[in-house]
Amino acid sequence: MAIGWYLVVSALIFCVGAAGVLLRRNPLVILLCLELMLNAGNLALIAFARMSGTGDGQIFAIIVMVVAACEVTIGLGIIVAMFRRRLPIDVDELRELQG
Amino acid sequence: MSATTAAWIALAAPLVGLLVISLGWRVWSGRAAGVIGTLAIAVSFAAAILGIADLQSLGEDERQLTSTAWDYANTVGVDASVTLLVDPLALFMTLVISGVSTLIHLYATGYMASDRGYVRFFAYLNFFVFSMLLLVLAGNFLMLIVGWAFVGAASYLLISFWYRRETATGAGIKAFVINVIGDVGLVLGTYFIVFDGGTGSLDLLTTFGEVGRTFAENEGSLVAGCILLLVGAFAKSAQVPFHTWLADAMEGPTPVSALIHAATMVTAGVYLIGRMWPLFEQAPAAADVGAVVGCATLLIAASIALTQTDLKRVIAYSTMSQIGYMIMAVSAGAYVGGFFHFMTHAFFKALLFMAAGSVIAAMANVQNLDRMGGFRKAMPFTFGCFVVGGLALSAIPPFSGYFSKDEILLLIGEQGGWYWVLYVLGYLGALVTAIYTFRMIFRTFLGDPVPEARELEEGHLHHAEPSNPADGTVEDTDVGFPGPEHHIAERTPSMKVAMAVLAVLATIGGVVQIPDVTHVLDSFLEPTFAGSAKFDQPTDTTLLVFGLVLSAVLGLTGIAIAYLIWVRRPGTAARLRERLAPVYELSFHKWYFDELFDLVFVRPSAAIGRWASSTFERVVVDGVFVGGTTSLVRVGSAAVRAAQSGFLRVYAALLLLGLTGVALWLLLEST
Nearest CB neighbour to A92, from listed B640, B647, B656: B647
Least Cα separation, residue A42 to chain B (angstroms): 18
The lowest-confidence range among A15-19, B431-435, B568-572 is B568-572
Q: Do B421 and B552 lie in a common domain? A: yes
pLDDT of residue B26: 86
- Give the distance from residue A95's alpha carbon to the nearest chain B alpha carbon, in angstroms: 4
How close, in Å, is residue A96 to chain B by CA atoms? 6
With CA atoms as reference, the chain B residue closest to A30 would be B649
Dump pLDDT digits (tens) for B287-298.
999 999 999 999
Asked if A21 reaches chain B (Cβ–Cβ under 8 Å), the answer is: yes
Q: Are residues B574 and B612 in the same domain?
A: no
Contact status of A4 with chain B (Cβ, < 8 Å)? no
In sequence order, the 6+-apart residues with CB closer than 8 A to the CB of B120 are B22, B25, B161
Report percent pLDDT > 90 for chain B. 57
Do the Cβ atoms of B645 and A95 come within 8 Å?
Answer: yes
Q: What's the Cα-to-Cα distance from B12 to each of B15, B32, B48, B133, B324, rounded to whole Å?
A: 5, 20, 12, 9, 32
The A residues from 48 to 77 touching B (CB cutoff 8 Å) are none
Q: Coil, helix or strand for A26?
A: coil
- Max CA-CA distance within chain B? 121
Q: Which residues of A touch B649 (CB under 8 A)?
A: 21-23, 25, 91-92
Chain B contact set for A97 (CB, 8 A):
646
Domain residue limits at A78: 27-88
Q: What are B306-326's pLDDT values in tens digits? A: 999 999 999 999 999 999 999
Residues of A whose CB is below 8 A from B646: 95-98
Q: What is the mean pLDDT of chain B?
A: 90
Looking at residue B233, its pLDDT comes to 94
Give tens-digit pLDDT for B579-617. 888 888 888 888 899 899 989 988 999 999 999 999 998
Classify residue A98: in a domain, yes or no. Answer: no
Residues B635 and B530 in one domain: no
**B364 backbone φψ class: left, alpha, beta (φ>0; ψ -120 to 50):** left
Q: Say yes or no for a CB contact (<8 Å) between B648 and A22.
A: no
Pair B399, B407: CB distance under 8 Å: no
Residue of A nearest to B637 (CA): A99
Where a domain ends, among B588, B605, B633?
B588
pLDDT digits (tens, 9 = 90+) for A52-90: 888 888 999 999 999 999 999 999 999 999 889 988 888
- Calculated CA dihedral for residues B74, B75, B76, B79, nearest 10 degrees: -10
Does the distance separating the beta carbons of A92 and B644 come in below 8 Å?
no
C-alpha distances (whole Å) from B417 to each of B297, B414, B560, B577 are 21, 9, 33, 37
Q: Which member of A21, A22, A99 has the closest CB to residue B644? A: A99
Contact A55, A49 (CB under 8 A): yes
pLDDT digits (tens, 9 = 90+) for B507-560: 998 888 888 788 888 889 888 888 888 877 677 788 888 989 999 999 999 999
Query: In chain A, which residues have their Cβ closer than 8 Å to the Cβ of B650?
Result: none
- How far off is chain B from A35, nearest CA to CA, in Å? 15
**Cβ-nearest to A99 among B641, B652, B656:** B641
Residue A98 has pLDDT above 70, yes or no: yes
**pLDDT computed for residue A1 by the predictor:** 66
- Residues B216 and B173 placed together within one structural domain of the fold: yes
Tell me, yes or no, whether B520 and B637 share the same domain: no
Please tell me if residue B644 touches chain A, with a CB cutoff of 8 Å.
yes
B654 and B576 in a common domain: no
Cα–Cα distance measured from residue B98 to residue B110, given in angstroms and rounded to the nearest whole number: 19
pLDDT tens sequence across B351-361: 999 999 999 99
Asked whether residue B170 falls in the same domain as residue B299, the answer is: yes
Looking at beta carbons, which residues of chain A come within 8 Å of B634? none
The answer to whether A18 contacts chain B (CB < 8 Å) is: yes
- Choose the mutation target among A15, A16, A22, A26 for the interface with B, i.e. most B CBs under 10 Å: A22
Q: Is the pLDDT of residue B29 over 70?
A: yes
pLDDT of A99? 67
Mean pLDDT within B204-230: 89
Q: How many CB atoms lie within 10 A of CB B2?
A: 16
List, for residues B81-91, the tens digit of each pLDDT value: 999 999 999 99
Q: Which residue has the higher pLDDT, B70 or B183?
A: B183
Q: Residue B381: which pLDDT band, with cuts at 50, 70 and 90?
A: very high
Q: What is the pLDDT of residues A2-61, one digit of tens each?
A: 888 999 999 999 999 999 999 999 999 999 999 999 999 999 999 999 888 888 889 999
In angstroms, the Cα distances linking A39 to A30, A35, A62 are 14, 6, 11
Residue of chain B whose Cα is closest to the Cα of A25? B649
What pLDDT, on a 0 to 100 scale, did the predictor assign at position B185?
A: 94
**What's residue B499's pLDDT?**
94
Q: Are residues B566 and B642 in the same domain?
A: no
From B627's Cα to the closest Cα of chain A, the distance in A is 23
User: For B637-652, what is each residue's pLDDT tens digit?
Assistant: 998 888 888 888 899 9
Q: Show residues of chain B in contact with A21, CB under 8 Å.
A: 649, 652
B382-401 mean pLDDT: 92
A82 shares contact with chain B (CB less than 8 Å) = no
What is the reported pLDDT for B215? 86
Please indicate if any CB of chain A lies within 8 Å of the CB of B70: no
The reported pLDDT for the residue numbered B472 is 76
- Give the residue on B whose Cα is nearest the Cα of A23: B649
Q: B508 and B578, same structural domain?
A: yes
Tally of domains in chain B: 2
Q: Which of B588, B621, B645 delimits the end of a domain?
A: B588
pLDDT tens digits, B105-162: 999 999 999 888 899 999 999 999 999 999 999 999 999 999 999 999 999 999 999 9
Tell me, yes or no, if B671 comes closer than 8 A to chain A by beta carbon. no
Any bridge partners for residue B516, and if so which?
Answer: none
One domain for residues B560 and B662? no
The verdict on a CB contact (< 8 Å) between B649 and A95 is no
Shortest distance, CA B631 to any CA of chain A (angstroms):
18
Higher pLDDT, B261 or B428: B428
The model's confidence at residue B463, banded by pLDDT at 50, 70 and 90, is confident
Q: Do residue B496 and residue B638 come from a single domain?
A: no
Residues spanned by the domain of B649: 594-670
| Window from A66-75, B62-71, B275-284 with minimum mean pLDDT | B62-71
CA angle B21, B25, B29 (to 5 degrees): 100
Within B417-537, residue ranges assigned H as helices are 419-445, 451-457, 493-508, 520-525
Q: Is residue A96 part of a domain?
A: no
pLDDT at B198 over 80: no
A29 vs B: CB within 8 A:
no
> Any chain A CB within 8 A of the CB of B639?
no
DSSP state at residue B60: G
* 8-state DSSP, B266: G
Instruction: Tell me if B165 sits within 8 A of B251, measured CB to CB.
Output: yes
Mutation for A interface: B648, B650, B651, most A CBs within 10 A: B648
- Whether residue A38 lies inside any domain: the answer is yes
The predicted structure's pLDDT at residue B523: 87
Give the three-state DSSP class for B85: strand
Q: Does the pLDDT value for residue B195 go beyond 90?
A: no
Report chain B residues whose CB lies below 8 A from the CB of A99. 640-645
| A94 reaches B (C-beta below 8 A) | yes
**Rounded CA gap, A7 and B543, in Å?**
124
Percentage of chain B lying above the pLDDT 70 cut = 100
Cβ–Cβ below 8 Å for A99 and B656: no
Mutate to test the interface with B, among A15, A82, A91 (most CBs of B within 10 A): A91
Give the closest of A18, A25, A98 to B646, CB-based: A98
* B649:A21 CB<8 A: yes
Q: B656 and A22: CB-CB below 8 Å? A: yes
Which has more pLDDT, A55 or B197?
A: A55
Shortest alpha-carbon distance between residue A55 and chain B (Å): 25
For residue A56, give how far its alpha carbon lies from the nearest alpha carbon of chain B (Å). 22
ipTM associated with this complex: 0.89
CB atoms A99 and B652 under 8 Å = no
Tell me the shortest Cα–Cα distance from B643 to chain A, in angstroms: 8
Instruction: Give the total number of structural domains in chain A.
Output: 1
User: What phi, psi does B284 have (nearest 5°)?
Assistant: -60, -25
Q: Which of B640, B646, B656 sits opposite A97 (nearest CB)?
A: B646
CB proximity B517 to A under 8 Å: no
Give the number of A-B residue pairs with CB atoms closer than 8 Å. Answer: 32
CA distance B123 to B548: 44
Among B588, B623, B657, the domain-final residue is B588
Neighbours of A87 (CB within 10 A): 12
Contact: B652, A22; criterion CB under 8 Å: yes
A33 domain residue, yes or no: yes
B211 and B315 share one domain: yes
- Are the Cβ atoms of B649 and A91 closer than 8 angstroms? yes
